[in-house]
Structure 1
Amino acid sequence: MIYEHAHLTISPEESDAFESAFASARHHLESAPGCRSVDLTRSIDQPSTYLLKVGWDRIEDHLEVFPTTDNARSFGQSVATYFQEKPLVVHFPG
């Protein structure tokens, strides 16, 4: 198992809309092949920063399989418009 940590930067004025969009689109991640867990947390001291933690069976599930799926397209269409910059993504062993 590996864990994807994605640092997301969202305008504080858009945080409610982003959180609502994420809640509606979350199932696209959760039902993706190899996805085992999804967690979104807003920073306490940097309100424009979120940490998205996704557990995957294998790194290939995230980097090779997921991007080719309808799940990825739907998830991206739902939340990507809220990103102020490209997410910083780092993978950790589980």
Structure 2
Amino acid sequence: MVLEHALLHVRTGQEDAFEAAMWEARPLIAASPGFLGMEVRPALERHGLYLLLVQWASIADHRDGFRQSERYEEWRRLLHGFYEPMPDVIYFGETL
């Protein structure tokens, strides 16, 4: 299992709209082969910051599967306009 990690910096004042868009976007990623689960958590002490964690069977399932799909184009349309700056994605391996 691979854990995708990204810190999402949402533009000030757009948090509610972002959260609504994330609920709309969830089924797009969940329908992807290799998708195992997802969490989006708001920071408690930094307004507008969210932690995205997605569990994948492999990096390829995310990078070559979801990101090359039409579902990703819709995901991007729904969510990427909220971010400033765009998030860096980091992959982590199995728990030690």
- Asked if the contact 2:8–2:50 (Cα under 8 Å) also holds between the matched residues in 1, the reply is yes
TM-score normalised by the chain length of structure 2:
0.92
**Which one has a larger percent helix, Structure 1 or Structure 2?**
1
Counterpart residue number, 1:17: 17
Counterpart residue number, 1:84: 84
Unaligned ranges ≥5, structure 2: none
Q: Percent identity?
A: 28
- Asked if the contact 2:80–2:86 (Cα under 8 Å) also holds between the matched residues in 1, the reply is no
CA distance in 1: counterparts of 2:88 and 2:47, whole angstroms: 16
CA distance in 2: counterparts of 1:49 and 1:56, whole angstroms: 23
Number of aligned residue pairs: give it: 94
- Letter matched to residue 93 of structure 2: P
Counterpart residue number, 1:34: 34
- Asked if the contact 2:3–2:54 (Cα under 8 Å) also holds between the matched residues in 1, the reply is yes
Please report the RMSD computed on the Cα atoms of aligned residues, expressed in angstroms. Answer: 0.9
> What is the SS of the residue equivalent to 2:20?
helix
TM-score normalised by the chain length of structure 1:
0.94
Task: Give every structure 1 segment of 4 or more consecutive aligned residues whose post-TM-superposition deviation is greater than 6 Å.
Answer: none
Counterpart residue number, 1:2: 2
Counterpart residue number, 1:75: 75
CA distance in 2: counterparts of 1:67 and 1:11, whole angstroms: 23
Q: CA deviation at 1:33?
A: 1.5
Q: CA deviation at 1:64?
A: 1.4
> What is the SS of the residue equivalent to 1:74?
helix
